[in-house]
Structure 1
Amino acid sequence: MRTDSRLSRVLHVLLHMIKHEGVLTSEQIGVMLDTNSVVVRRTLAGLRKAGLVTSEKGHGGGWRLTRNGKEITLLDIYLSLGAPQLFAIGFDHTSPTCAVEASVNNALGQSLTKIESILLNDFASISLQDLYVDFEQHCNTA
């Protein structure tokens, strides 16, 4: 099963942006994430559209946060990535008239909706600054 790691990878970058307190180029971020700078620009474009980061072109340009880490939540970042699917569990739709399939899909759907709501509420309560504080604590104990 393939997982979507964009959220964790973007959080990694944003924590570096807080620590660096300046611009980071797409190339620097690409090295950090072991990916191409084009992928970096494509990924961060959603965050720019959401107003979380800005980019400056040319010599001395790069990416930077537009707001304080306290003002940006995990939910903001998750939504700026296009709200990727949270769970790998899917529904079977091979027999739309089957009562068993309908019952199973209904039960799974209700459970997944509840869990998604809890997770997204949790994302809304965690700021980028909260992650940064935790990161700094890990650095100080290492």
Structure 2
Amino acid sequence: MGANSRLTVAAHALTWIGLYQRRGHEVATSEQIATSVNTNPVVIRRLLAQLRKAGLADSRRGAGAGWTLTRELSAITLLDVHQAVEPGPLFALHPAEPDPECVVGHGIGPALSAVYDGVEAALRTELARTTLEDVLRDILAAA
């Protein structure tokens, strides 16, 4: 099973839009963003639709169509982005109930739930500490 890159692509897109706007442009097209991400514009549009639903981005239609941020990069955390594109839990228990007569089947859910809850809490804490402004600062420092 491969790692999920939705958070990375969403953070990339929003950070790119933020920098693009700082450089004097009003809106960014999904084609422009897709070029930076090196993916199909449809992938970007689908992701930005989720980000719009979460209140992190907005779009314009018609002449001058494109995407904008709804708030400054300093007011968007990686947790905000994560919750927009990955709203569910990180880990799931069995899709079907394990055998309750089996000692492992009976106890695996409670045992793993405690671990998973701790991992998710730590992840959320870490993601909340980093804004997209921090990400852009680190990108520009490395350039």
TM-score after normalising by structure 1? 0.85
What number of residue pairs does the alignment pair up?
A: 138
Report the equivalent of 2:110.
Answer: 106
Consecutive unaligned residues of structure 2, counting only runs of 5 or more, are none
Report the equivalent of 2:2.
Answer: 2
Alpha-carbon displacement from aligned partner over 1:11-38 (angstroms, at most 9, x marks no partner): 1111211221132101112222233222
Supply the AA of the counterpart residue of 1:5: S
Query: How far did 1:90 drift?
Result: 4.9
Q: How does 1:1-142 map to 2 (within 5 A)?
A: 1-21=1-21, 22=25, 23-83=27-87, 85-87=89-91, 90-91=93-94, 93-139=97-143
Q: What is the identity percentage for the equivalent residue pairs of Structure 1 and Structure 2?
A: 38
Alpha-carbon displacement from aligned partner over 1:45-65 (angstroms, at most 9, x marks no partner): 111111111111123221111
Kindly indicate whether the alpha-carbon contact (under 8 Å) linking 2:78 and 2:132 is maintained by their aligned counterparts in 1.
yes
2-structure distance, mates of 1:62, 1:82:
24
Consecutive unaligned residues of structure 1, counting only runs of 5 or more, are none
Kindly indicate whether the alpha-carbon contact (under 8 Å) linking 2:56 and 2:76 is maintained by their aligned counterparts in 1.
yes
2-structure distance, mates of 1:95, 1:82:
30
TM-score after normalising by structure 2? 0.84
**3-state DSSP class of the match of 2:67?**
strand
List, as ranges, runs of 4+ consecutive aligned residues in structure 1 with deviation greater than 6 Å: none
Supply the AA of the counterpart residue of 1:71: A
Kindly indicate whether the alpha-carbon contact (under 8 Å) linking 1:71 and 1:127 is maintained by their aligned counterparts in 2.
yes
2-structure distance, mates of 1:2, 1:16:
25
1-structure distance, mates of 2:88, 2:110:
22
Alpha-carbon displacement from aligned partner over 1:69-106 (angstroms, at most 9, x marks no partner): 1111111111111425535x754844244222232332
1-structure distance, mates of 2:60, 2:116:
40
